[in-house]
Amino acid sequence: MTDDDTTFSRRRLLGTVGAAGATGIALGATGGVAGAAVTRDDPPTDLATVGSTAVAFHGRHQSGIVTPQQAAGQLVAFDLTPAAGRKEAAALLRRWSRAAERMMAGDPPDGDHSGVALDAGPSSLTVTFGFGRGFFERTGLEARLPDALRPLPEFSADALDEDRSGGDLWIQIGSDDGLVAFHALRVLQRDAAGTARVRWQMSGFNRSLGATPEPMTQRNLMGQVDGTNNPKPSDEDFDKRVFVPADGSPDWMAHGSYAVFRRIRMLLDSWDEQSRAEQEKVIGRRKSDGAPLSGGTERTPVDMTARTGDGDLAIAADAHVRITPPDANQGAAMLRRPFSYHDGFLDDGAPDAGLLFIAWQADPLTGFVPVQRRLDSGDALSRFIRHEASALFAVPGGPGKGEYVGQRLLEA
């Protein structure tokens, strides 16, 4: 079979499966059969909608922050090699930006013969680049180190693995297709050769588009509707909360954001031992539809004063939604955009699974830190989670046409 044949039949299969998803046919039952029924004589169909969606590489902000959450995620942090300085780092960011721009448009990156994403469309691929504290020392750019990149404080419940924390450079990849996400990871990792080495890498996932009868807020591995009270781009103060202002400091971070990353393992064996009612009390929302226990539907504001028929607070004193909102934390807010992860099973048989928690904010000191301090002193959820890795990255604004990500930092 030639390369063209491979492309042709895979594209047909994609089209068939996409159509099945769109009409609500259960893929588990029909996907394989439909695939087997494809012959090379059938006329090709259009690429499925999921594959054809492209996200812009250029713009005020980098992609992957306000972009709706994708089904597949790859997070990777790099350390610069001892021989690499500012010049080598700039060349790497230039290579990475070019590859990201091409892959996000659904085009093959230069010099890539892997064929991994050959027959897929852009599939909402986003590639987001960030700089860790160490980057500034290694490149002699200490004078441009943002104040907001000061190390996160230690939290009493942290059980951090240093080898899977930090990093000089960070890439967040998201796509609605797992192969497209892997392909981007592999291309960018290969492009780093000689300049930066992988420090840690983690794979994540979310619900696929079309998996639910209507689009809905994501669900996490504890079975909770997660993301309801995120700041919305339509909110008046959204930009102020999430992005560094145009005249913010340092100037190269204009329209950028700070990403707090935490790998948070869920103690799912203990969690599963709780009754549904006990689990709902931990968060303060119903599992079925995410509605607050004070009443209403998912989007109804939480009533912290409401009481049950027994006179108890409907939202318990230590419920996660009582401890975390901005008005309980001097206005502290962040945009949570996580992926779930599952990395096999531990020696005791418990799943090594949880949340690759990513929070975006204009300044971690007024976003993540105050909320995590409150959580650290004990909310009901803390008994069922462990923070196992942590990192903080400065994510500059989006590149203009002809610019590479970070150019304003590296060449100013």
Give the shortest CB-292-to-ligand L6N33NVT separation in angstroms.
9
Q: Answer yes or no: are the C-beta atoms of 97 and 187 closer than 8 Å.
A: no
**CB-based contacts of 186, cutoff 8 Å, min separation 6:** 114, 116
Longest Cα–Cα distance of the chain, Å, equals 72
Give the shortest CB-159-to-ligand L6N33NVT separation in angstroms.
14
DSSP H helical ranges for 206-363 = 238-242, 268-273, 276-283, 320-323
Determine the Cα–Cα distance for residues 24 and 45; give it in Å rounded to an integer. Answer: 18
Cβ atoms within 10 Å of 30's Cβ, excluding its own: 16
Give the shortest CB-95-to-ligand L6N33NVT separation in angstroms.
34
Q: Answer yes or no: are the C-beta atoms of 338 and 399 closer than 8 Å.
A: no
For ligand L6N33NVT, the binding residues (CB under 6 A) are 220, 222, 224, 226-229, 262, 264, 266, 283, 285, 320-321, 324-325, 354-355, 357, 368, 371-372, 375, 385
Closer residue to ligand L6N33NVT in complex, CB, 385/409 = 385
Token pair for residue 111?
Answer: 């010099």
- Given the residues 79, 112, 226, 379, the one annotated as active site: 226
Containing 27, the helix (H) or strand (E) segment is: helix 27-37
Closer residue to ligand L6N33NVT in complex, CB, 143/277 = 277
Clarify whether 226 is annotated catalytic.
yes
Closer residue to ligand L6N33NVT in complex, CB, 3/278 = 278
Closer residue to ligand L6N33NVT in complex, CB, 3/289 = 289
Give the shortest CB-393-to-ligand L6N33NVT separation in angstroms.
16
Give the shortest CB-206-to-ligand L6N33NVT separation in angstroms.
13
- Using only C-alpha atoms, the chain has a radius of gyration, in whole angstroms, of 22
| DSSP 8-class letter at 230 | S
Three-class DSSP category at 167: coil
Q: Answer yes or no: are the C-beta atoms of 52 and 174 closer than 8 Å.
A: no
**CB-based contacts of 309, cutoff 8 Å, min separation 6:** none
Closer residue to ligand L6N33NVT in complex, CB, 149/355 = 355
* Residues belonging to the active site: 226
